[in-house]
Structure 1
Amino acid sequence: MKYFLLFSLWAVTAQAQLSPNGATASFKGSLPPKPVAALSAEQEAGIAKELAAVTQSFKAVKKHPRAADADIFLKAVRYALEFDEWYDKKSEDGVKKAMALLDEAKKRIASLAKNETPWMNGSGQKVLGFYSKIDDSPQPYGVEVPEGLEFGAGKKPVPMWIWLHGRGDTATDLPFVYSRLMAKKTGQFQPAGTIVIHPFGRYCNGWKSAGETDVFECRDDAMKRFNVDTNRVALAGFSMGGAGAWHMGAHYADQWACVHTGAGFADVKRYQKLTPEKYPVWYEQSLWGVYDVPDYARNFFNVPLISYSGEVDAQRDSAEYMMEVLAKQDLHPPHLIGPGMPHKYHPEVIKEVQAWIEKAVASGRVLFPDEVHIQTKTPFYGRMKWLNLHGMEESWKEARLDARVVDGQTIEIKTQNVTRIVFYPPPQARKGGGSLKVMIDGSELKLRVGPLSPQFETFMSPGPKVAGALCRLIKENGVWRDFGNEEPFQHEGPAGGKAGAHPGPMDASFMKRFLVVLPDGKSSSPAVDAWVNAESAHFIQRWKGLMRGEVRVVKASDVGDVYEAGKMQSLILWGTPESNSCLKQIAGSLPLQWNAEKMAMAGQSFDAKTHVPLLTYPCLKSPGFEVVVNTGLTFREAHDKTNSLQNPKLPDWAILEISQQPGAESAGKVVAADFFDDHWQVKKK
């Protein structure tokens, strides 16, 4: 009877978590979903009137350094009105929450006007905000401060946990902020003497794309406010948060004192139970390598890891699979099992998990270990500790970089599918009086090395440049050589190949500051113009609804010189060289021929009146930024049913036939698509 009940519970749990089509039980066909109890016209009008009044008063404090602490409330109510985000059983409760947020906004605005921030004082639950560097949007996060903890300038640095929340289709800004503002209960863990922050993560995207950058931005904001010890920060999460901890733990293993993954998926194919006949097109399979954690397993050599699963939780399979993958690398982290538990923590085992994390945090992050290991499919995720995989022979194929300090003046490096390396020799390897011996793939190099940058120990940024602080190696014709420090890598152009700053695909550009540039004219094709107008508007609204920010938008005529305007950001150019004057400026440097009648790429020709190109490409004339043409995020509404599908769907370039109407899965019919090679050239057939 015991085993029968166990099997029955497993079946019910599995069905509740993931239906046969891969959808979560809470998915109702859109994000954000339709309201549960829609407000009446009078109720909405009342909220809108109050919002307008508070928004007007906010203008007086808009430039205050902590203005985001008030702005998050205004945005939450504004978005709830725009997207009809009312998820309580009674409309009156939605009104109550909106008014509570506006009341809090008024209090904070009054305090900011006096240059005061009383909500920062003392212990307990807090909800704070920051302005994102990506799109300038105010983004919220929650904070738990234990009773009696002293923090801030002049106090002893405190440890911090980052807790990644699980999926909640209705957990948009208003419910998230309200729950943090009015919360009475603490979170899953209450580590002693430790700040716990709860990123919003741009709502419901599996901690990918802008959700990923959101974690780092709120981490950095909290670090400054609470005087956090940068070497005692833990990353943890459960369910979707567990998936985020797997992903961000593997891709950024050097940023954490330890990583805890609770009941989260780790890849696409196994989690979605895909068999070969159900595989997507080849380039989408390659792009699983952006986030699939098994492709980054060796990175867990660089950080302590502990996992948890409920005994009868269907998502236990993901953790078991990762244990198999890690074991093949001779890694054997603890995987604790909650006896009899479905998709939740066991009340006793959670204590073991907490004790383990607290011990790892107390030990702290090792900044300069003797060994560093990197495994990746893209240079975008090529940095770890003092080592940076800066370029690859072929992206989206496995690359490895393993380095170890042999003695006080020798470092041994082994590589696979790597062409460029930047590394900061750690202190224990800088004892050779300014000389360093590097044994790389069996060859010996003699390098000169200077002192470390004074600020490098923070590992947030390398700090001011110090001559000779870093070393750079490049592989040419199968031979490694010292590239020196004087000549810059031409990493944004075809001669230098792809690098971590911009390796593609198109979606990567939406993880940095970007500017949408709309047409300032018309093309020769009304059909193309109609598609451009509809798809650009679709992206702007989708970013707002799913990524919870307002896209920065200008017309091409307002940009001016694209090479000057585009520094340090991505330019998202919509239209054609006829309709967009910015596209016209750079059309000659793009790897396609494109006029009013036809476009040609990769040896193929297409009718320009019924086809549009989508691509990402580095700006060769003014290195440091890239252009993206005719696309926003390439995963669409149909992929929101499960966070495991919210991945890039198109490679570096694609040609769409627009006679097929845009839908929930694609913006048109893909008739050609591929990656550029690692020198930004069109691949030969």
Structure 2
Amino acid sequence: MVRGYISKIDRSVQPYGLVVPPSYSPNAPHRWRLDLWFHGRSETLSEVNFLSDRSRNPGEFTPRDTIVLHLYGRFCNASKFAGEVDLFEATDAVKRQYPIDENRILVRGFSMGGASAWHIGAHYAGLWAAVAPGAGFSETAQYQKLRLTGEGAPPAWEQKLWHLYDATDYAGNLFNTSTVAYNGEIDPQKQAADMMERAMAEVGLRLIRVVGPQTAHRYHPDSKIEIARMLDAIAERGSDPYPRKVKFTTWTLAYNRMKWVTIDALGRHWERTRLDAEITGETSVNVDTQNVTAFTLEMGSGGCPLDPARKPVVIIDGQKVTAPGPMSDRSWTAHFRKSGSQWTMADTVTDAGLHKRHGLQGPIDDAFLDSFLFVSPTGAPQAPGVAKWVAAQEKKAVDEWRRQFRGDAQVRDDTAVTDADMASSNLVLWGDPGSNRVLARIADRLPVKWPSAPTQVPILIYPNPLNPKRYVVLNSGFTFEDYAARSNSLQTPKLPDWAIIDTAEGKIVRAGFFNENWGL
């Protein structure tokens, strides 16, 4: 069957397919296993073609007593950017209609869908009972055989931003779930599992691989049986939402949670960040960190095994910190913050003031993972030399959003923007302080000033000074549009937090990242 939901990002209707087993009954006394299936790449996979296929094709796997959610993923993006948000919006839609067992959700896919499974599986490992990628890719540089230095090498900021989506950089997170990888013996895309096997081995994990004998880019029938046997056994047991030990690696606060561990602040973005936590006794927890300056330990009702009558000691990087004990319902929440080299308890998740936090950490593309509004200029530009470029870029951004993410960007004149818009959406401001009324209100509160050169224009992402809980973006849509048709592995951010563009020469003059306090 086919269903849909209205996306928070652009108010578009996004489709998904659903296979409901014959055994399903809304009156059953149990909750149901859910498998999420990511499709392969197809440049002709319009919404109509997807819906048609989902209406007549049950898919590669139909496990017994299992609901299978076939994700459209906003076309072909390997579940990155808005395609990643689609996963959670579609899953939430299914959960509203069916009683889903949160501890028996599996992620699966093949080819581009295998890349999706590697990415989603490693970044959100704590959510899944199992991860089962088939073929695909798991990183950018090696898969594309890119030069890292010299002529033709991507700029340093772009290479740094590979840490956003490269599954190999998050391989250690698979400690927190079960993983079964597949590839055909003669499939060139076995490279994805080769890379993940190597990355997992570096952190002491051994990857189990099912290999289709003398098989190219497809599932071997015998391999499907073996994969089903393994995944059924894993799903029968389910995942543990509160394991005694959690190992978490990230590079950005965009991915800041694993099981009962949340990282609230980093020493520096785009450097390897690690937090390992273990309950070592009834009153003791051990935490080891790297590049972490604030974190939270949180377990829901019934989840905390600590002694409720005693205050636990949390040993953080060798320092002992006494924390409040669990509540009477066996829930537990404790915040910790680092000042200099000293760890202490904290009353809140983060300090007051402007600093990078989950959902407000950049880069530019992050603004397009939630509700956003293009704000068009209506006034006279103070930089006439770039006005034509700005108009062309806005039109291109609208067109590319439709082409790549199958939605319609919401557009409004600067004179029509309301307080409600600022409260609900990230604002993408086109123009300059002379032509865009909203930009004029905040220009002197942004860290990057308008260039004096008549052909240069700033691009940036920054917490909106008029509502710091939302972003403001200057003169940019998503940043990878020129690479989208070549390979999904090249669909990565191409710009960092800010850049100065010379519109006459069509080149980036300079670019960089803001620091953890959103300063230069």
**Cα gap change, 1:323 to 1:523, in 2 (>3 Å):** same
Structure that is richer in strand per residue: 2
- Amino acid across the alignment from 1:315: Q
What does 1:18-37 correspond to in 2, within 5 Å? Answer: none
On the 8 A contact 2:459/2:473 being kept in 1, the answer is: yes
* Letter aligned with residue 614 of structure 1: I
Tell me what 2:481 maps to: 636
1:654 aligned residue: 499
Q: Secondary structure at the match of 1:324?
A: helix
Secondary structure of 2:509's match?
Answer: strand
How far 1:593 sits from its partner (Å)? 2.9
Deviation digits for residues 472-526 of structure 1 (CA, Å, limit 9, x no counterpart): 11111121111124xx6247x44xx311121110001111111111113121333
**1:156 to partner: Cα distance:** 3.1
Counting only pairs closer than 5 Å after superposition, residues 384-399 of structure 1 correspond to structure 2 as 384-399=258-273
Alignment match, 1:365: 239
The answer for the alignment partner of 1:645 in structure 2 is 490
Residues 322-471 of structure 1 aligned to structure 2 (within 5 Å): 322-425=196-299, 427-433=303-309, 435-451=311-327, 469-471=332-334
Task: Look up the match of 1:559.
Answer: 417
- Give the superposition deviation at 1:449: 3.9
Q: Distance in 2 between matches of 1:156 and 1:299?
A: 29
**1:527-538 map, 5 Å:** 527-538=385-396
Structure 1 residue 533 displacement after superposition: 1.2
Pick the aligned partner of 1:573 from 415, 422, 429.
429
TM-superposed deviation, 1:548: 0.4
Query: How many residues are matched?
Result: 516
Give 1 or 2: higher helix fraction.
1
Structure-1 residue corresponding to 2:135: 263
Offset at residue 470 of structure 1 (A): 1.9
Structure 1 residues 586-612: Cα deviation after superposition (integer angstroms, max 9, x where no partner) = 112100233xxxx2xxxxxx41x2111
The 1:620/1:423 distance shift into structure 2, 3 A limit, reads farther
Cα distance in 2 for partners of 1:670, 1:651 equals: 12
Which of 479, 488, 496 lines up with 2:342 in the alignment?
A: 479
Structure 2 stretches of 5 or more lacking a match? none
- CA positional deviation for 1:638: 3.2
Aligned partner of 1:170 in structure 2 is: 44
Rounded to whole Å, the distance in 2 between the matches of 1:353 and 1:221 is 28
Contact 1:407 1:428 in 2 (8 A): no
What is the aligned partner in structure 2 of residue 198 from structure 1? 70
User: After superposition, what is the alpha-carbon deviation per residue over 1:333-371, rounded to whole angstroms, capped at 9, x for unaligned?
Assistant: 311111000011111011110111111111112110001
Deviates more, 1:152-161 or 1:166-175: 152-161
Cα distance in 1 for partners of 2:429, 2:153 equals 31
Deviation at 1:272, TM superposition (A): 0.5
Q: How many angstroms apart in 1 are the aligned matches of 2:456 and 2:4?
A: 43
Residue in 2 that maps onto 1:586: 442
Question: Aligned match of 1:211 in 69, 76, 83?
Answer: 83
Q: CA RMSD in A?
A: 1.8
Which moved further from structure 2: 618-627 or 218-227?
A: 618-627
- What displacement does 1:253 show? 0.8
Partner of residue 138, structure 1: 13
Between 523-532 and 308-317, the greater mean CA deviation after superposition: 523-532
Give, in whole Å, the separation in 2 of the partners of 1:450 and 1:566: 39
Q: Distance in 2 between matches of 1:429 and 1:636?
A: 49
Whether the 8 Å CA contact 1:409–1:429 is kept in 2: the answer is no
- SS for the counterpart of 2:468 is coil
| Cα drift, residue 450 of structure 1 | 4.5
Offset at 1:434? Answer: 5.5
Distance in 2, Cα, partners of 1:514 & 1:625: 9
Which amino acid is 1:592 matched to? V
Aligned: 1:231 with 2:107: no
In structure 2, the residue matched to 1:240 is 112
- CA gap 1:357/1:452 in 2 versus in 1, 3 angstroms: farther
Render the CA deviation track for 1:134-153: whole Å, top value 9, x for unaligned: 11110001111222x22336
Amino acid aligned to 1:626: Y
CA distance in 1, matches of 2:428, 2:473: 5
- Of 402-411 and 513-522, deviating more is 513-522
Alpha-carbon distance, 1:585 to partner: 1.2
Counterpart residue number, 2:457: 612
Return the alpha-carbon distance in structure 1 between the equivalents of residues 234 and 372 of structure 2.
37
Deviation readout 1:366-418 (Å, 9 max, x if unpaired): 11000111111101111111101111111111000000001122111000011
User: Does the 8 Å contact 1:411/1:429 carry over to 2?
Assistant: no
Provide closer, same or farther for how the CA distance between residues 358 and 171 of structure 1 changes in structure 2, counting only shifts above 3 A. Answer: same
CA–CA distance in structure 2, aligned partners of residues 560 and 170 of structure 1: 39
Tell me the percent identity.
37
Kept after mapping to 1: 8 A contact 2:422/2:466: no
| Pair member with larger Rg | 1
Please report how far the alpha carbon of residue 330 of structure 1 lies from its aligned counterpart in structure 2 after TM superposition: 0.9
1:429 and 1:446 map into 2 onto residues whose CA distance is: 17
SS in 2 for 1:381: coil
Instruction: Report if aligned partners of 2:442, 2:466 keep a CA contact under 8 Å in 1.
Output: no
Q: Please give the secondary structure, in 2, of the residue aligned with 1:379.
A: coil
Structure 1 residue 240, shift from structure 2 partner: 0.3
State whether residues 277 and 287 of structure 2, in contact with CA within 8 Å, keep that contact through their aligned partners in structure 1. yes
Contact 1:425 1:470 in 2 (8 A): yes
CA contact (8 A) 1:284 1:648 kept: yes
Q: State the SS of the aligned residue for 1:190.
A: coil
Aligned counterpart, 1:12 = none
**1:196 aligned partner, one-letter code:** V
Q: Residue 78 of structure 1 corresponds to which residue in structure 2?
A: none
Structure 1 unmatched runs, 5+: 1-125, 457-468, 600-605, 661-667
1:3-25 CA-partner distances (Å, limit 9, x unpaired): xxxxxxxxxxxxxxxxxxxxxxx
Superposed CA offset, 1:177-215 (max 9, x none): 12222x1x4311120111111010000111100000101
Length-normalised TM-score, structure 1: 0.73
Contact 2:286/2:314 (CA < 8 Å) preserved in 1?
A: yes
> 1:452 & 1:235 partners in 2: Cα distance?
35
Alignment of 1:144-183 (within 5 A): 144-147=19-22, 149-152=23-26, 156-181=30-55, 183=56
SS of the aligned residue for 2:42 comes to coil
Give the Cα separation in 2 of the matches to 1:357 and 1:163.
14
Distance in 2 between residues matched to 1:484 and 1:429, nearest whole Å: 22
- Please name the residue that 2:350 is paired with: 489
| Separation (CA, whole Å) in 1 of partners of 2:400 and 2:212 | 39
Describe the shift of the 1:476–1:625 C-alpha distance in structure 2 as closer, same or farther (beyond 3 A).
same
Please give the alpha-carbon distance, in whole angstroms, between the structure 2 residues aligned to 1:390 and 1:337. Answer: 40
